[in-house]
């Protein structure tokens, strides 16, 4: 999802004004949304959380006008909310104390929280936040490995589900926790929610699979097309091979798949009915290893140009 970008107090050197940025974004939507037989879909990321606004990287005008454009174009909006640690110096709690409002409450006060929003993380969502999201039918996405590796906390997703919020699963991308394995997210979701609630029944594996499939499709507004195996939907299917020694005996296949399987156990992937991956080979990419190697070289060059090569060092700690 492209981010909304424009000149703001924290980003004064940006080349585009808010008017120009929104106009260019609209042109890209017109050009690409629905392209390739509907495989390309547009959304917009509007960062509305307290620390982005406090840092001047986002503004109330940007948030409201971005929302209005998304509504006009029928686009979903994503935003990171209630994340990070409870640090008094620079974390979520610092801005909660300064403003007296949570990220959800801020969107409610602006009068713009509705089903268009896909809210990510929600680590420190309050019960009132959850009630408000359920009432307006906003979507909430859990990224359990991302939150865990940052020591941010355990999000109240079992409570959100119980309250009627549409809850889905995501990865937050490899830049945060190195992983885009959705099987790993399903397992970690169950583990973390059981730890938070001290209850091994609060997050059944069936629900984690729903969060990764049909609930995610609902969050994107695509549940009529994808997210479940039904007549008339696009055939987006992943087929897994669980005949692995680390999986063991399959007494309850779904539990074994989520708790012992891995994303790399996939043997075939279909997108819109076309087999695009089978047994380690991609239908439209002859040299996958070469593509990864090229990406690694580009990444290293960017890190070097940014003067951040020291961050690549391995430091053993005792």
Mean pLDDT of 206-217: 98
Q: Given pLDDT bands bounded at 50, 70 and 90, which one contains residue 3?
A: low
User: Lowest-confidence range among 57-71, 91-105, 110-124?
Assistant: 91-105
Q: What domains can you pick out in the chain, each with its CATH number?
A: 18-234 (3.20.20.140)
Please calculate the CA angle 250-252-256 and round it to the nearest 5 degrees: 65
Find out whether 166 and 139 touch, Cβ atoms under 8 Å.
yes
What pLDDT is recorded for position 93?
75
SS (H, E, C) the chain: CCECCCCCCCCCCCCCCHHHHHHHHHHHHHHHCCHHHHCCCCEEECCCCHHHHHCCCCCHHHHHHHHHHHHHHCCEEEEEECCCCCCCCCCHHHHHHHHCCCHHHHHHHHCCCCCCEEEEECCCCCHHHHHHHHHHCCEEEECHHHHHHCCCCCCCHHHHHHHCCEEEECCCCHHHHCCCCHHHHHHHHHHHHHHHHCCCCCCCHHHHHHHHCHHHHHHCCCCCCCCCCCCCCCCCEEEECCCCCCCCCCCCHHHHHHHHCCHHHEEEEEECCEEEEECCEECCECCHHHHHHHHHHHHHHHHHHCCCHHHHCCCCCC
Residues 6+ apart with CB under 8 A from 183: 257, 258, 261, 262, 263, 265
| Alpha carbons 28 and 183: distance in angstroms, whole number | 33
Mean pLDDT of 262-286: 96
Please, what is the average pLDDT of the chain? 92
What pLDDT is recorded for position 86?
57
Mean pLDDT of 81-108: 79
What pLDDT is recorded for position 1?
45
| Alpha carbons 70 and 243: distance in angstroms, whole number | 45
| pLDDT tens-digit readout, 216-257 | 999 999 999 999 999 999 999 999 999 999 999 999 999 999
What pLDDT is recorded for position 277?
97
| pLDDT tens-digit readout, 51-93 | 888 888 899 999 999 999 999 999 999 999 988 665 556 667 7
User: Lowest-confidence range among 80-84, 85-89, 99-103, 261-265?
Assistant: 85-89
What pLDDT is recorded for position 83?
80
What pLDDT is recorded for position 90?
66
Q: What number of CA atoms fall less than 13 Å from residue 50's CA on the CB side?
A: 22
| Alpha carbons 106 and 60: distance in angstroms, whole number | 10
């Amino acid at each position: 999802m492209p981010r909304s970008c424009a000149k703001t107090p924290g980003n004064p050197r940006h080349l585009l004004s808010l008017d120009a940025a929104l106009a260019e974004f609209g042109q890209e939507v017109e050009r690409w949304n629905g392209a390739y037989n509907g495989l390309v879909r547009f959304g917009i990321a509007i960062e509305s959380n307290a620390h982005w606004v406090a840092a001047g990287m986002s503004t109330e005008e940007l948030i409201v006008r971005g929302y209005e454009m998304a509504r006009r174009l029928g686009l979903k909006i994503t935003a990171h909310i209630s994340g990070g640690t409870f640090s008094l110096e620079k974390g979520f709690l610092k801005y909660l104390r300064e403003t007296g409002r949570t990220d959800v409450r801020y969107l409610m006060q602006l009068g713009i929280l509705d089903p268009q929003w896909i809210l990510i993380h929600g680590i420190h969502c309050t019960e009132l936040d959850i009630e408000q999201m359920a009432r307006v039918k906003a979507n909430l996405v859990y990224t359990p490995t991302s939150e865990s590796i940052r020591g941010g906390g355990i999000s109240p997703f079992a409570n959100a589900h119980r309250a009627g919020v549409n809850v889905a699963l995501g990865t937050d991308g490899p830049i945060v926790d190195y992983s885009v394995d959705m099987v790993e997210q399903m397992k970690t979701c169950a583990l973390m929610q059981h730890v938070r609630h001290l209850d091994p029944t609060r997050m059944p594996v069936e629900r984690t699979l729903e969060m990764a499939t049909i609930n995610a499709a609902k969050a994107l507004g695509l549940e009529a097309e994808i997210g479940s195996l039904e007549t008339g939907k696009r055939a987006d299917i992943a087929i897994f091979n669980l005949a692995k020694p680390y999986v063991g005996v399959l007494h309850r296949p779904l539990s074994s798949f989520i708790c012992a399987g891995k994303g790399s156990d996939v043997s075939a992937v279909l997108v819109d009915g076309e087999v695009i991956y089978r047994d380690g080979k991609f239908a439209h990419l002859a040299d996958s290893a070469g593509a990864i190697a090229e990406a690694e070289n580009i990444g290293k060059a960017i890190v070097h140009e940014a003067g951040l090569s020291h961050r690549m060092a391995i430091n053993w700690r005792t």
